[in-house]
Homo-oligomer: A and B are copies of this chain.
Amino acid sequence: MRDDPTQMAEQVSKVLRHLVLLLRRSSAGQPVTTQQYAVLGSLEHGPRRMTELAEEHAVQLPTMTVQINRLEYAGLVARGSDPADARVRTVELTGEGRDRLHAVRRARIARLAHDLAALSDDERDVLAAALPVLAKLGIDRTTQ
């Protein structure tokens, strides 16, 4: 298949659609939406500024403003200021935000681990080998 990129692309496309449906089914009705969870994850290692968050999540600044507003209202993050530049707002996790992040992460990892446990050793090997390749896919698109 590797010699017919078009055919392979069709397979990849189907698999992507499958994964998207999987994610949709598994994230319905969770205590934190996938977007909120992703943003909380960005804050794990310290405060970030709004522009950073927006870029990292491939989103416009106003979109991130609204996200952070909701998270702040929910008590999961707090806004701060940069003493060196009064224009920038920083965002950081509250204690509750950190707790929630870890709880949701545990649940997601556990579910994934459960799914992975249903595979054979060989299948897990194959999958593990492919992860770096998947991570590499499309990285040059981000610079366009």
Contacts and interface: CB of A to CB of B under 8 A. Distances in A.
Interface of A: 1-2, 5-6, 8-26, 38, 57-58, 108-110, 112-113, 115-119, 121, 123-131, 133-138, 140-142
Nearest to A21: B58
B20 A23 contact: yes
A115 B12 CA distance: 11
Contact of A135 (B2, B14, B133): B14
Q: Which of A112, A118, A142 has the most CB of B within 10 A?
A: A112
B16 A19 contact: yes
Contact of A19 (B21, B110, B134): B134
Contacts of A110: 9
B127 A140 contact: no
Contacts of A130: 126-127, 129-130, 133-134
28 contacts: A2-B128, A5-B113, A5-B116, A5-B117, A9-B112, A9-B113, A9-B116, A11-B128, A12-B112, A13-B109, A15-B134, A15-B135, A16-B19, A16-B23, A19-B137, A25-B58, A25-B142, A26-B138, A26-B141, A115-B138, A116-B137, A119-B137, A126-B130, A127-B133, A127-B134, A129-B129, A129-B130, A130-B134
